[in-house]
Structure 1
Amino acid sequence: MAGSGVGKTGGGSLFTVVSATTLVATEAFATAIAAGWALAGLMHLGDIGEYALMGLFSIAALYITVKYFRRAYQVEMSLD
């Protein structure tokens, strides 16, 4: 079905944007969880500190993911 226009909206493919965003989100959240765990372990913060850092870093990962999606969508839709 190459070239049939299936999944095309505007100038690009929404499927491409969603797929790339899923990859970026997975990496960002995995890094956030690992960073929270590692820093809490280094600073001996205990379980509560560990979960707090994981949550804080996950909020940052969510922000990065949303920002990435918006920019990727904008670029993909501008393609001719």
Structure 2
Amino acid sequence: MPSSDKSINWTSLITICSVAVLIGTELLGAAWASGWALAGFFQLGPTVEVILQGVFGLIALYAIFVFLRQASRVEPIFKREGASS
């Protein structure tokens, strides 16, 4: 069976994109706030603050990637035309 008989499951795609925006915003906001709070609490200075925000931001982006990968397994974006379910 050729792979060209796949179509987009729009409901799943919209759901995953909406959740990605929600979760992504919260994770990146928490990453930024955590870097700011830790640098301020320990009086580390603005340079370390930006570094902490960047490190926490990268961790948040990785978490978003893992979440989206798992969400696309639960809610498949592509559906097969001839598949019997």
The letter of the residue matching 2:9 is K
Map of 1:40 onto structure 2 = 39
Would you identify which runs of 4 or more consecutive aligned residues in structure 1 move more than 4 Å? Answer: none
Query: SS at the partner of 1:13?
Result: helix
Map of 1:74 onto structure 2 = 73
Q: TM-score, normalised by structure 2?
A: 0.77
Q: Number of residues paired by the alignment? A: 71
Task: Give 1:8 deviation, angstroms.
Answer: 1.8
Task: Give 1:48 deviation, angstroms.
Answer: 0.1
Map of 1:8 onto structure 2 = 9
Deviations 1:3-26 (A, max 9, x none): xxxx626xx611101110111000
The answer to whether the 8 Å contact 2:31/2:56 transfers is: yes
Counterparts of 1:48-63 in structure 2, within 5 Å, are: 48-63=47-62
CA distance in 2, matches of 1:30, 1:72: 21
Residue identity over aligned pairs, in percent, reads: 39
The answer to whether the 8 Å contact 2:36/2:53 transfers is: yes
The answer to whether the 8 Å contact 2:9/2:76 transfers is: no
Map of 2:82 onto structure 1 = none
